Amino acid sequence: MTTLQDSFGRNIEYLRLSVTDKCDLRCSYCIPKGFNDFEAPAHWLSFDEIERVVAVFARLGVARIRLTGGEPLTRARIPELAQRLRALSGVNDLSLSTNATLLSRYASDLFAAGVSRLNVSLDSLDAPRFACITGRDCLPQVLEGLTAGKLAGFSPIKINMVVLGGENEHEVERMVEFCMEHDFILRLIETMPMGDTGRNASYVSLQAVRQRLQKRFGLIDGVVSGGGPARYLQSVDGSFSLGFITPISQHFCDTCNRVRLSADGILYLCLGQEDTLDLRSLLRDGIDDAGLEAAICAAIARKPERHEFKEQPGKIVRIMSQTGG
Ligand code: SAM
């Protein structure tokens, strides 16, 4: 099988596929309140276009696809897209990142369509604080969504919590206990300076939080498969895993294995750089599959070595939901 390798010897085998830049939440560190600069739906890749691009990536050895956004479940007919992508030769892992507000409605259809793993964003278990961070008073819906996800059979389910100083930082112990109780993997995430919202978020280095939680819960170093950026601790019996995604305090670019395709068909070679390939224009100008393959390989060859979130925090103007988080 072909493999996609960048100029730093990293194999690219994972595509994060945004299906919309819109979201039904307004997390304080992501989409600004009143933001209206969303991409015109006419610019969104159609399901046919997405299927074609993913088939080409799969032929190039990209076996793992994650549906994301914006909030992917706000795009109509997502289970249908999931089923079409999972059926492609070479795609052997299809996962979803969601805020779970609509998950109770879609969980069983998504699972039946072949989505096997779920990441759910959950920054607080306290309803007023959840509403304050996300701009919407809907914690019960999210918890219902999680229950539905579990019942549908998703495994593992990972909870992603962005840690915000002075807001939810003191809640991390409670979140660990919640995830232990429900058999969820927890990942704590440092805020990234994407857009003014990301830059203005109250950044907390997770190094001290890691030490605090390791001691409090008696955790040991661990590994969770998936090739992602998180560094893990585990309970001694292995039943609970806690990951730390630390783009600022300890970046992980040397093991980066991914690229991102935005809803409007722009391939982002690095979350924290401007290097892109406009796949939508190529597709709509009638490029054939061989041309598409060549263009993708050439783009991967210029994947940047690393982001510069720490050195150049003012660099990235676009917010996370525009790239596909
Ligand atoms: N709506 C889906 C969800 O909630 O998982 C997928 C898209 S969302 C943009 C993906 C992840 O990016 C979420 O976990 C969110 O908390 C995170 N995120 C957004 N902006 C961020 C920022 N500036 N720094 C760190 N994480 C951010």
1 has a pLDDT exceeding 80: no
Ligand 1 neighbourhood includes 160 CB (under 6 angstroms)? yes
Ligand 1 neighbourhood includes 98 CB (under 6 angstroms)? yes
ω before 229 within 30° of 0 (cis)?
A: no
Q: Would you list the DSSP string of 148-217?
A: HHHHHT--SEEEEEE--TTTTGGGHHHHHHHHHHHT-EEEEE-----HHHHHHS----HHHHHHHHHHHH
pLDDT, one tens digit per residue, over 19-43 is 999 999 999 999 999 999 999 999 9
Ligand 1 neighbourhood includes 38 CB (under 6 angstroms)? no
pLDDT, one tens digit per residue, over 46-91 is 999 999 999 999 999 999 999 999 999 999 999 999 999 999 999 9
Ligand 1 neighbourhood includes 270 CB (under 6 angstroms)? no
Å from CA of 128 to ligand 1 middle: 20
| C-alpha distance across the termini of the chain, in Å | 28
Q: How confident is the model at residue 324 (pLDDT cuts 50, 70, 90)?
A: confident
Ligand 1 neighbourhood includes 246 CB (under 6 angstroms)? no
Å from CA of 97 to ligand 1 middle: 9
The tokens for 185 are 């993997």
Q: Which atom of ligand 1 is nearest to the CA of 198?
A: 23
252 has a pLDDT exceeding 60: yes
pTM (predicted TM-score): 0.96
Residue matched to tokens 């003014």:
196
Q: How confident is the model at residue 99 (pLDDT cuts 50, 70, 90)?
A: very high
Alpha helices in 90-189 (DSSP H): 103-113, 127-134, 139-152, 172-182
